[in-house]
Homo-oligomer: A and B are copies of this chain.
Amino acid sequence: MTLTQLGAFVLVARLGSVRAAADVLGVSEPAVSKAIASLRQHLGDQLIMKDAAGMTLTAGGSRLIAIASQMVSLGAEAEAAVRAANGAPAQLRLLVNSTISEFIATPLTEAFTRHRNSTVEASSGVATIAEMRALLADRLADVALGPAVPVDGDRNLITEPVLRYLVVVAAAPQKRFTGPPRTWPWLVGPSGVDPYGDIGRLLRAFRVPDQRISVFPNETAAWVAAADGHGVTPAVSTLLHSHVRRGELHVVPTDVTPVQGTWYATTLRTDRRTTTSTSFVNFLSTPSAMQLMCSPGAGVPPSRFRPPVYVTIWS
């Protein structure tokens, strides 16, 4: 299975014709035909079949095309990226949990870019706490920001506290929830399903069973549902501020909350990390960064809006 073969396959599927693909590639028809034949044999699947109206993909073929077309475009991207790397601005790849991604990552990376006079290109991506360690160790990211990454003795990673905050439980003001917390309906964002995150830990501490937890596509949606009286929601208190001030939510004290949490920055150990990483970690302790992390994020103008980074749609 080579990239050329995959490229031929993708093109044939796109164009619905071996001939057409061969023309586009500027090679003879048998060259393309043979590439497909090799793939077929290697994978033990017909992949694509000629029929009445053009070509149709087999089940295996439709799985393959999604993956293959990514690989092909990544191949082109790799060449371009490496060739363009010299003279390009330095990169900072920041790894965050979904809460930080929702409220803080964009303003923070933007502020850092400004702080460095645009000599750096910062981007952020969402990962679970458990993934962060591997991604850092494999050099797939430069800095991880979020609840403590369990580095247990990995001498290559260093971790340092960045910000303390309080995790509180909130609900609509008029709602009263009685009985033990584990019987309440809990409304959480994606970070609620991360077992290493503060909110996941809180839910476990209360022994909330799965069927009493509703996961929303983002934290704000969970808060809105809570304001609507559908349940209680755990949250970082500073981020919840405007909801509380408007009277949509109020803080419900429990046995264990408010509870303090800490966000940490984790990087490769000092002598291995890039100067950009170091610069970013230092930036995190500046007053302006601190302030950004404490106040909920605002919108950004369209020109600076960057949707969550992802290569393509399906794996």
Contact = CB atoms under 8 A, between A and B. Distances in A.
A240 to B, nearest CB: 11
A313 B135 contact: yes
State how many copies of this chain the complex holds.
Answer: 2
A126 to B, nearest CB: 8
A271 B69 CA distance: 24
Given A138-B13, A300-B215, A308-B308, A243 B225 contact: no
Given A63-B82, A125-B314, A127-B313, A301 B140 contact: no
Interface stretch (A22-30, A49-57, A258-266): A49-57
- A223, A230, A314, most chain B CB atoms within 10 A: A314
Nearest to A218: B218
Contacts of A74: 67, 70-71, 74, 315
Contacts of A188: 299
Interface in A180-220: 187-188, 190, 192-193, 210-211, 213-218, 220
A91 B75 contact: no
Interface string A62-77: 1111111111001101
Contacts of A290: none
Contact of A140 (B69, B308, B311): B69
A46 B54 CA distance: 46
Contacts of A86: 45, 59-60
Contact of A217 (B106, B141, B302): B106
Given A102-B221, A313-B141, A91 B78 contact: no
Contacts of A71: 71, 74-75, 78
Interface in A133-169: 135, 137-141
A93 B314 contact: yes
Contacts of A190: 305, 307
A43 interface: yes
A109 interface: no
B215 A218 contact: no
Contact of A70 (B82, B248, B311): B311
A224 B213 contact: no
Given A63-B91, A228-B242, 10 more contacts: A47-B82, A53-B272, A54-B272, A60-B85, A69-B140, A141-B313, A193-B302, A210-B303, A215-B301, A221-B297
10 contacts: A14-B137, A66-B140, A74-B315, A127-B313, A214-B298, A221-B297, A221-B299, A224-B224, A225-B298, A248-B248
